[in-house]
Structure 1
Amino acid sequence: MSDRLKNTGQPNEEIIDELTKDLKTSLNTTESVEEFVISPGTSAEDFPKASGDAPHTSDTPTHSDTIEDQDLDRDFKDSDDGAKADSDTDIDETSLKDAEVDLTDDQKEERKIIAEELKKCGNEAFKIGDYERSIEKYTEGLRTCPLQFSQQRSILYCNRSAARMKLQKYAQAVKDCTKAIELDDKYLKAYIRRAQSYEATEKFDEALADFKKILELDPDHKEARQATIRLPPLIEEKNEKLKTEMLGKLKDLGNMILKPFGLSTENFQMEQDPVSKGYKINFKQ
């Protein structure tokens, strides 16, 4: 495997496209190579608002609560086929911050209570398999809960990610887990869900990194231990496929360059030195 594929933080797929794009550009060719009791039907709009938006919640939630944005990460376009930016679940924190400026501490506390009840409604919907409804409730909770209550917001994001995973919207689940982790960097459940979402979309390097973090937080975590054994061979296999793909593209490009001269890449034989591991190219007519 090349040093670039091993050492760069850039996705290998991007490296392949970069290499071939740069080569073609340099040749100047035009040829192409290919919370009150809130019922499940209650909406955040049913509650009074002050300068913007926000709801309430009473009990202090914990990370043991069950069961969590929008723009689809292009890297996951294959697994989230047909998914697109969804303004209905977008969380505009700038607008939330502006809306909270004129709120009193009591009003913010009320909104936290409402957000907690919305989360409970989301959990109930999740339990009966109504994942779209649960996403709606978690989203309303996020738009209601004041930004200062980071733990509550972290749980809402993580819960929403679980619902999205059930719908196989793994890219959005990753975004929600990432937000939950930003709000609470020791949130074990968020790391677990993100790692699972990464693996479901063959982002094996990212999944392995999260499983290793899970072991730092919980050394006895069985799934994470198994993953650290299971994933490395998958990463190696994927990288080998990428290397083969890259070499194939380079070969096609080479044939395009050599064609005007009556040559092809078949005229050049590459041999690896067993000692230095380097390669030498021999020309044959």
Structure 2
Amino acid sequence: MAEKNVTDEEFQDALSEPVPSIQKVTTNSPKQDKLIDEIIEKNSKLRLEDDEAGAVGGKEEGNKDNNDDDENNSDRLELIHHDEELSLEELQLREKDLSAEELALNKEKADKLKLEGNELFKNGQAERAIELYTDALNICPSTNSKERAVLFGNRAAAKMKLEANKSAIYDCTKAIELYPEYVRALLRRAKLYEQEDRPDEALTDYKRVYEIDPGQREAREAQVRLPAYINERNEKLKTEMMSSLKGLGDMILKPFGLSTANFQMKQDPNSGSYSINFNQNNS
């Protein structure tokens, strides 16, 4: 699993900022079975995502156990909502009666807030940095797409510092929507997807990075590392699913004196289709 800590070196302001390294795992990339992929795709929708965890600093009053601390930390993290900033429609409505000079002034104020947020982040004040990035997003002109993309990307980095991964993924996605070739945001979201055990989405982002920049080392390595992990996960899920189906089948067939052992499934190597044979002697 990728590291959760975000270092100052990883947090940069430019669109061409350097890329954080991730743990390298050398594996082969086997082909995935098409039928299994279809089954897993249907079943993966049923999986529940893990709750976000992590601590946000600060002291609690009174004597409280670890569970209370976890609940309080979760409550504080819940305050980091992606809907704190104005929607694009709301921002455009505010800008409707502003002059070009006023819009330019708002852009300057947003740039200043961003720089202040950067300093706060580097000084370990991630929560306060998030507030300033949000304030900047609420005045940065809607036409300044790249600048707004960077604000979302920087806010995502601050949320990563607080381990608010799902909210950080939202910010990365907003940044990418504003600037589809924002490599830094794509890499950050890919890393977050890995932390959330969503390797399929992570691989998609790494592939996109590789399309934009074929020389990107992390993207190249991920395309070797992740397919093997995905295949292993799919095989595990397939085994668990088949075991569950077998148990269900045995329960249904038991009143008839039968079990799933009476049925044998064979795949046609040419067509890929399956046939089921019945053997009454098996029990």
TM-score (structure 1 length as normaliser): 0.69
Give the direction of change, closer, same or farther, for the CA distance of 1:9–1:194 in structure 2 (3 Å limit).
farther
In structure 2, the residue matched to 1:80 is: 52
Q: What is the deviation of 1:240?
A: 0.9
In structure 2, the residue matched to 1:6 is: 37
Deviations 1:145-179 (A, max 9, x none): 12111111000001111112222222222211111
Work out the percentage of aligned pairs sharing the same amino acid. 40
- Provide the C-alpha distance between the structure 2 equivalents of 1:157 and 1:8, rounded to a whole number of angstroms: 36
Is 1:183 aligned to residue 155 of structure 2? no
Q: How do 1:1-285 and structure 2 match up within 5 A?
A: 3=34, 5-6=36-37, 10=41, 12-14=43-45, 17=46, 77-78=49-50, 80-81=52-53, 82=74, 84=78, 86-87=80-81, 90-91=84-85, 92-265=87-260, 267-272=261-266, 275=269, 278=274, 280-283=276-279, 284-285=282-283
1:135–1:160: 8 Å Cα contact kept in structure 2? Answer: yes
In structure 2, the residue matched to 1:48 is: none
State the one-letter code of the partner of 1:139: T
Give the direction of change, closer, same or farther, for the CA distance of 1:275–1:126 in structure 2 (3 Å limit).
same
Give the direction of change, closer, same or farther, for the CA distance of 1:163–1:4 in structure 2 (3 Å limit).
farther
- Provide the C-alpha distance between the structure 2 equivalents of 1:269 and 1:11, rounded to a whole number of angstroms: 24
Give the direction of change, closer, same or farther, for the CA distance of 1:175–1:128 in structure 2 (3 Å limit).
same
Q: What is the deviation of 1:225?
A: 1.4
2:81–2:167: 8 Å Cα contact kept in structure 1? Answer: no
Give the direction of change, closer, same or farther, for the CA distance of 1:86–1:124 in structure 2 (3 Å limit).
closer
Give the direction of change, closer, same or farther, for the CA distance of 1:238–1:122 in structure 2 (3 Å limit).
same
Give the direction of change, closer, same or farther, for the CA distance of 1:144–1:225 in structure 2 (3 Å limit).
same
**1:146 partner SS:** coil
TM-score (structure 2 length as normaliser): 0.70
Deviations 1:114-167 (A, max 9, x none): 111111111011111221121111111111212111111000001111112222
Deviations 1:211-245 (A, max 9, x none): 12212222221111111111110010111122122
**1:144 partner SS:** coil
Deviations 1:60-93 (A, max 9, x none): xxxxxxxxxxxxxxx8841524565755753322
Provide structure 2 residue ranges, at least 5 long, that are not aligned to the other structure. 1-31, 54-73
Provide structure 1 residue ranges, at least 5 long, that are not aligned to the other structure. 18-74
In structure 1, the residue matched to 2:23 is: none
Count matched residues: 225
Give the direction of change, closer, same or farther, for the CA distance of 1:86–1:154 in structure 2 (3 Å limit).
same
Q: What is the deviation of 1:94?
A: 2.4
- Provide the C-alpha distance between the structure 1 equivalents of 2:78 and 2:234, rounded to a whole number of angstroms: 28
Ranked by relative contact order (alpha carbons within 8 Å, sequence separation 6 or more), the top structure is 2
1:208–1:227: 8 Å Cα contact kept in structure 2? Answer: yes
Give the direction of change, closer, same or farther, for the CA distance of 1:207–1:110 in structure 2 (3 Å limit).
same
State the one-letter code of the partner of 1:282: F
State the one-letter code of the partner of 2:50: D
State the one-letter code of the partner of 1:140: D
**1:280 partner SS:** strand
1:160–1:176: 8 Å Cα contact kept in structure 2? Answer: yes
1:154–1:179: 8 Å Cα contact kept in structure 2? Answer: yes
- Provide the C-alpha distance between the structure 2 equivalents of 1:99 and 1:88, rounded to a whole number of angstroms: 20
